[in-house]
Structure formats: C-alpha cells, structure tokens
Chains A and B, each alone.
Chain A
Amino acid sequence: MAEIRVQNLQKKFGEFTAVNDLSFTIPDKSFFCLLGPSGCGKTTTLRMIAGLELPSSGSIFLGGEDVAFRRASERDIAFVFQLFALYPHMNVRQNIGFPLLCQRVPSREVMRRVEETAKLLRIDHVLDRPVSALAGGDRQRVALGRAIVRRPLVFLMDEPLGTLDTEFRDLMCEELRRLHDRIQATTVYVTHDQLEAMSMADYIAIMNRGAIEQLGTPQAIYDRPATTFVAEFVGSPAMNLIPVPASLAQGSTSVEISGARIDIPETREPALNGHFILGARPEHIQFDDASKFRGEVFGTEYLGTTQIVTVSIAQGQVKARIPASVKVIAGEQVGLSLMSERLSVFDKVTGRAIRSALHEGGAHG
C-alpha cells in the first residue's frame, strides 16, 4: 500500500513561499503528474516527498505514516533525475546492480534481480556491454533499470525526459507508462510538458505559484479547465480565450460577440462585473460561411493530418484546428462557428470557470 497523502504542506525559502498550504492525495498504484511552469513549486514538492527537502510545515503520509521529517533513506522510494546519468566505467550489469550493492544485498540475489529487471526493460542481451557502447534508448533503459531494481513502493521522477529529441521522447513516454502498468508502483512525475503529462498520467495536478490550480484526470482537465491558467497551460495550441465586455446572468444560454449570437452551456452562476471570457479549444472552432462571427486568416500551420489556422478577430486572434485537406489562404475572410456544448466561460477578474451545464454529467470525461 503506497498511497501518498500531502496535508497543508508549506515550504518557504526566506521570504519566498515556494509551496503554499498544499493538500492532495495520490492513490496507491497511480501515475500522478505534477505539471506547471518553471518556478511553480512542483520540484520543491517532489523533493519534500523524497525527503531531499524539509517542509516548513505540514505532513506527508506515505502508506499511512507521516514521513515529512524522516531522512530520505528511511523512505521506501526511488528518485529518477535526468535519466542519462550512468557510471561510465561500469558495464550495464554493474550499473543496474549498484543500488542493491549499496544496500548490501547478497550477490546471488543481486544477480537474480538485475536479470529480472533487464528482462522487464528488454535489455537482457546487453548486460555485459560497457554503457558507452549503447545507443541512446538503451542507455535510458539502463538508467531506468537502476531505479526500478530496488522495487521501491514509490517512484519519483523529475523531468526525466527533458533533454531528449521529440521523436524519442514520444517513445519513452509510452515505455514509461507501459512499465508502470506492469510494476504498478505509485509514481509521481514532475514535468512542464503538458503532452507528457496528458499521455502518461492517471491524474494531473496543475500547479501555479506554489498552489494547485486543478487536480483531475487528463481528459477532465482538458475538457473542463477550472481556471484560465489551466486552459492556457494544457493543450497545444492553448484554449482560445475571447474577452467579452458584458455581464452574464445565471441561466444564460448564449452570448453575443461582435453582433453574432453564440450558444453556450447554460450557466449556473452569474458573472456580474461587466467582463467575462469565452473559452474555446482549437478543435471546437469550425469554418462556417454562414456565421456572423467573422475574421481574417492570419496564417496556417500545416501538421499533416490537421492544420492550425490563426484567424484575426475583433477581440484578438483565435486558432482553429481543422483537417489539412481544407484549403485556406492568408488574408481570406472566414466565418467561424463554435461547438456550443464544449465552450467554457471564465470570470475575467478571478480567472475561475463559471459553473455551467458543461460541468454536469461529465459526458465527455
């Protein structure tokens, strides 16, 4: 049982509050991502779970026990940094076996567990090679092997794929997730890359300025962002945020932008300070000649299956994701229609999502 429960965790460096009154629970055996921009407190949080940093206050329960002020070595965890750090003078077998040797595991047992780990990672055929003779992918697997050979209850990973080429990163994301499914150890993974988080995590906690802005499944966060910060941070391109200078009564089912009426999920609370923000994902904007909501094509980005079209409108720019087969020319006037049941509405001042029919039923979660 390796549930991790963080309660009222706080960390200050002098006057600066890096982590502010954080509380969340990571279920046993789940893959949990802490996602956020640099400086949001995600690495500090991870280091406190690892025991590499002591909290200013608060508790961290690991399998029911408060370990917040225990030494790192007294917690049953493995920490994976940038995956590439291997001992160059040792071969693959020695590299993977090293953590066990440090724990004075008998050599026969070390042998057995190294081979078992190597099989799991499909590197058992290179065990006796020097690590310098390995291709990039295999080196990465060796580094991973060194972390999992101890079979800890919890894995903590801090941007382990940060330095890789995109193509290789996709591959490693998939392998990490598959590995997790096989060994089922609770994993806490820190990244600033939303695509990594989306593709691997069971749950994502999005952090900003030392606090969690939203915690949920990847799809829930994507479909129903709790704040404009989350809306912009998750998704590539980001959610389009269109400012509208009007108040919105509770029970509204449509809004007006530049004289065009746009239906929205019925609101369950008002936005009364004269401004709100309409949020639309790029794939929920379509071209529609009949629409009164119009703009001029600023540029297109061809991506193969789809293309991203940037359209200048009175309120700024919006990006639409449409099939690559549609011909679009820069400078062209186009009408836009928005997929009503998928739209978000945010309070302009607080940035928080206005509750609406979108948040009920969770039909798309």
Chain B
Amino acid sequence: MAEVLLNGISKSFAAAAAVSDLSLAIADGEFFVLLGPTGAGKTTTLRLIAGLEKADAGSISIAGRAVDGREPAARDVAFVFQQFALYPHLSVFDNLAFPLRSPAQRMPEDKIKIRVHEIAELLRIASKLGNKSTQLSGGEMQRVAIGRALVRRPSIYLMDEPLSSLDAKLRSDLRLELKRIQRELGATILYVTHDQTEAMTMADRIGVISQGRLIQVGAPRDVYENPQSIYVAQRLGQPQINLLPAGLLPTGPLPAGTRTIGARTEHIVIERSKKGEAVVDWIEHLGDQNRLHVMLGESRLTALITPDAKFQPNDHVSLRLVDPLCFDAAGERIT
C-alpha cells in the first residue's frame, strides 16, 4: 500500500478534454471517492493511473516512484471494472487464484491457497469456493470479482462503479462490507461513482469532479456542510438542496453580495400558518420520511418531514431559514 500522487495530469480525446490539469494526493490506506456525472472524466482518471491510457501532460507516481511510461503490469495496481467478468469454466477458487498464478507473481500453490481462503472469508464466500462461478448469485459474482482484485496486494485498488450493476439491497450490503474490508486490509482505494450515497457512506475523502476538473476535495461531512459552490452543493444531499433568490425568505443578516440562498432540509423551519405565504403543492411518500413540496410564488422548495406531520396539499405554511448557505452571483460560496 502506498501514497499515489497525480500532478497536473491532462488527457484529451480528439478535441474533447476528458481530464484537465488534475492534481491529487491519495494517502496510504485512504478510501478516496471521485464523484461526478457520466462524462466527467472519472473513468479516464482511473485508466490513466492504471496505465491503460497515456496522459498528454502531467505525472503520476505510485509509492514514491514515477510510473509515467510504464506498462500497466509494472504499475502495481489492481482494477475492478463495472461489469464483472469471471471465467465461467473455472471454480470460484480458481477465479480468485488466477491473478496469483500469473507469471509475474510466481506465488507457490500453498501460499495461494492460504491467500484465497483469507479473502474468501473476508468476502463471506468461503462456502462457495468449490462452486462454478456460473452457479453464483449476482451479489456473489461481484464479490468474487472484487476478491480477484483483493487477493493481490497492490499499491492501490482502482474501482470503477463496481456496485452499479447490483440491485439496491445488495448494493447497500456491499457498501458496508467494502468499507470494512478496506479498513481491515488497510488498503488504498480510488473508487469512482456517480452515486452520491456510495460516496458519502464509504469515502474518507470525496473529490467532486466535473468536466475533467477537480472542483472540491474533502471529508463527506465537510463537503456536505461546506460546499464551495452551488455545483457541489447540488451534488450531495437528498432531496437536492433548494436554491432560492436572496431575500425571498426571512433568514437574518446575510453576507454582502449574496444572490442565491442554498437551503437544505435541516436549514428549513416549516410551520402551518393561515397567514403563511407558501402553499403545500404535494407530498411525496417515501415511507420513512415524506417529501413536502412547497410553492412560494414562482419558487419551489422541497423538505423532508416525518410521516406523522399532518400536512395537506393547499395548506398555507410559513417558512423560515436557519443558517442556510450563501452564494454570490457566480455561484461561489460566501461566508
């Protein structure tokens, strides 16, 4: 395991810049998540580190060694792809052992056995080692695919949306497992996803990426509570942060230059009031919580309420904001 440094890397495909001047230091043992929409440059960044693409500019070092120009096999990284591809004719054991049997590893068979069993225990698939990989459920297959990366001890694991093809329940189970495994192994992981829940729940630090540029880096709580721009504020939090023109609602004094107010659920106080200017538009029932959609003139606002709160469509409500986020005309945060 080791530190990974990206220094000013850029990569274009024809005229389109996929990654622009991206610098990042991932610490030894860190779980780092790159969060961004489709086409933001996340996968390209992973592929540059792995050596599957060549950077146009900048340098990459892994464990203190510059790896620019090195073959993927010489970079000491393990890649987990979005679509798991297992060898269907091999057993789970042989699928897991495969990377260790490569000529580059030259690991003796008794050691391979120990390592495979260790990883299978960790991933809770030890009872399936004798199965053909085709006899597994989707979740088990993905565990084997992750396991095949984990049997090696590379400097860094690169993971490209490894959970996105699984159903919701499995995804939430594996999120917690992956985090636990990473802690137990002390592994360094760079994980890319468009799913904010994955980023929030697993990352030590999140890097928000857009159009090839890294926009903000920080611990999940830090990025959620202190976004530096409207763009970042909108990427985290469900329901999405409400954006309102300054002065629309009572807030107390605002910093000079505030144009837009960002209000998350926890910044909003809603009370039913006949004199309230806002009107309940509709209520979305999500079971554990309900989303209350409120219209205030032309502006719409969404807040979480408990199912016990008895609001009805067309109820008049008064709204007040407590410590909301303030943004200037350019969408940058001001405090």
Chain A interface residues toward B at CB < 8 A: 37-38, 165-167, 170, 174, 177, 192-195, 198-199, 217-219, 222-223, 232-238, 281-283, 298-299, 301-305, 308, 310, 321, 324, 364
Q: Given A301-B200, A303-B197: A235 and B38 within 8 A (CB)? A: no
Complex Cα–Cα for A363 and B38 (A): 44
Whether A299 pairs with B200 at a CB distance below 8 angstroms is: no
Whether A301 pairs with B201 at a CB distance below 8 angstroms is: yes
The residues of B that contact A282 with a CB separation of less than 8 Å are 288
Interface string of B256-272 (1 = CB under 8 A from A): 00000000111000000
Residue of B whose beta carbon sits closest to that of A237? B172
Interface assignment of B168: CB less than 8 Å from any CB of chain A: yes
Whether A299 pairs with B179 at a CB distance below 8 angstroms is: yes
20 contacts between A and B (CB under 8 A): A165-B37, A166-B195, A166-B196, A166-B197, A167-B37, A170-B239, A199-B291, A218-B286, A222-B287, A222-B288, A223-B287, A223-B307, A234-B287, A299-B179, A303-B197, A304-B224, A304-B236, A305-B237, A305-B265, A308-B201
Q: Given A165-B37, A238-B169, A310-B176: A218 and B285 within 8 A (CB)? A: yes
**Which interface class (under 10, 10 to 19, 20 to 34, 35 or more) fits B?**
35 or more
Residue of A whose beta carbon sits closest to that of B173? A237
The residues of B that contact A305 with a CB separation of less than 8 Å are 237, 264-266, 304
Interface assignment of B284: CB less than 8 Å from any CB of chain A: yes
Interface string of B238-249 (1 = CB under 8 A from A): 111000000000
Q: Besides the contacts A174-B284, A302-B221, A302-B224, what 8 more A-B pairs have beta carbons closer than 8 Å?
A: A166-B195, A170-B239, A198-B287, A222-B287, A223-B307, A303-B197, A303-B238, A321-B288
Q: Given A301-B200, A301-B201, A305-B266: A192 and B285 within 8 A (CB)? A: no
| Contacts of B270-324 to chain A: CB distance below 8 A | 284-289, 291, 304, 307-308
The residues of B that contact A232 with a CB separation of less than 8 Å are 169
| Nearest-Cβ distance from residue A169 to partner chain B, whole angstroms | 11
Complex Cα–Cα for A321 and B306 (A): 13
Among A177, A194, A218, A304, contact of B264 (Cβ-Cβ < 8 Å): A304
Whether A198 pairs with B176 at a CB distance below 8 angstroms is: no
Interface assignment of B167: CB less than 8 Å from any CB of chain A: yes
Residue of B whose beta carbon sits closest to that of A219? B285
Whether A199 pairs with B285 at a CB distance below 8 angstroms is: yes
Residue of A whose beta carbon sits closest to that of B171? A236
Whether B175 pairs with A301 at a CB distance below 8 angstroms is: yes
Complex Cα–Cα for A37 and B168 (A): 10
Whether B265 pairs with A235 at a CB distance below 8 angstroms is: no
Interface assignment of B147: CB less than 8 Å from any CB of chain A: no
Complex Cα–Cα for A219 and B169 (A): 20
Whether B220 pairs with A299 at a CB distance below 8 angstroms is: no
Interface assignment of B180: CB less than 8 Å from any CB of chain A: yes
Interface string of B200-237 (1 = CB under 8 A from A): 11000000000000000000110010000000000111
Complex Cα–Cα for A302 and B199 (A): 10
The residues of A that contact B176 with a CB separation of less than 8 Å are 298-299, 301, 310
Whether A236 pairs with B285 at a CB distance below 8 angstroms is: no
Q: Which of A37, A233, A238, A304 gathers the greatest number of chain B CB atoms within 10 Å?
A: A304
| Nearest-Cβ distance from residue B66 to partner chain A, whole angstroms | 35
Whether A165 pairs with B194 at a CB distance below 8 angstroms is: yes
Q: Which of B238, B287, B304 gathers the greatest number of chain A CB atoms within 10 Å?
A: B287
Whether A198 pairs with B285 at a CB distance below 8 angstroms is: yes
Residue of A whose beta carbon sits closest to that of B239? A170
The residues of A that contact B167 with a CB separation of less than 8 Å are 37-38, 192
Whether A304 pairs with B237 at a CB distance below 8 angstroms is: yes
Whether B288 pairs with A281 at a CB distance below 8 angstroms is: yes
Residue of A whose beta carbon sits closest to that of B265? A305
Complex Cα–Cα for A235 and B168 (A): 10
Whether B180 pairs with A299 at a CB distance below 8 angstroms is: yes
Complex Cα–Cα for A37 and B138 (A): 12
The residues of B that contact A233 with a CB separation of less than 8 Å are 169
Whether A199 pairs with B195 at a CB distance below 8 angstroms is: no
